[in-house]
Amino acid sequence: MYLIAKSVSKWYPELFLIVSVIIYWALSAILVNPVAISLVVLLVAQLRFKNKTFGIALSFIFMLLSLYMMLAVFSDIVNLDFFFPRGLLLLCFGALYFGGTAYFALILLRKNNNTINERLPIGND
């Protein structure tokens, strides 16, 4: 069981972001959502091909989307008449959801931006 959890742990950022996009897709109430479909396709392609440049670009996209949505949550909170309980629920859910998405986008960036050389040195390399 430990080996299965350890082998899947390197996919956590992509899997969390796929689940996050599926949640967004379900909450948008649009069956054919081109943004959600394209994000899921891009994440599945990243899982399949493991391109470092593409992974870095994808992590920046998700970080920017999370930042934009956090600003939208704060904008909605400013426009509320009464903060309790609706504003508190909005703040907690928004901070956890978009903060988690930004965290896993940062983990995806760290995963694809490692500077360790993956080849073995030959001779005086």
Residue pair 66/109 in contact (Cβ under 8 Å)? The answer is no
Q: Label residue 71 by pLDDT band (50, 70, 90).
A: very high
Give the model confidence (pLDDT) of 44-56 as tens digits.
999 999 899 999 9
Residue pair 13/66 in contact (Cβ under 8 Å)? The answer is no
Of 99, 18, 98, the residue nearest 58 (C-alpha): 18
Instruction: Supply the angle between the helices 52-78 and 34-49 in degrees, to the nearest 10.
Output: 150
Q: What would you report as the CA-atom Rg of the chain, rounded to the nearest whole angstrom? A: 18
Within a 10 A sphere around the Cβ of 40, how many other Cβ atoms?
17
Q: How far apart are CA 15 and CA 21, in angstroms?
A: 10
6-10, 92-96, 115-119: least confidently modelled range: 115-119
Give the model confidence (pLDDT) of 5-25 as tens digits.
667 778 899 999 999 999 999
Report the predicted TM-score, pTM, of the whole model to 2 decimal places: 0.83
The percent of residues in the chain predicted with pLDDT above 70, rounded, is 86
Task: Label residues 5-28 b or e (16+ Cβ within 10 Å = b).
Answer: eeeeeeeebbebbbebbeebbeee
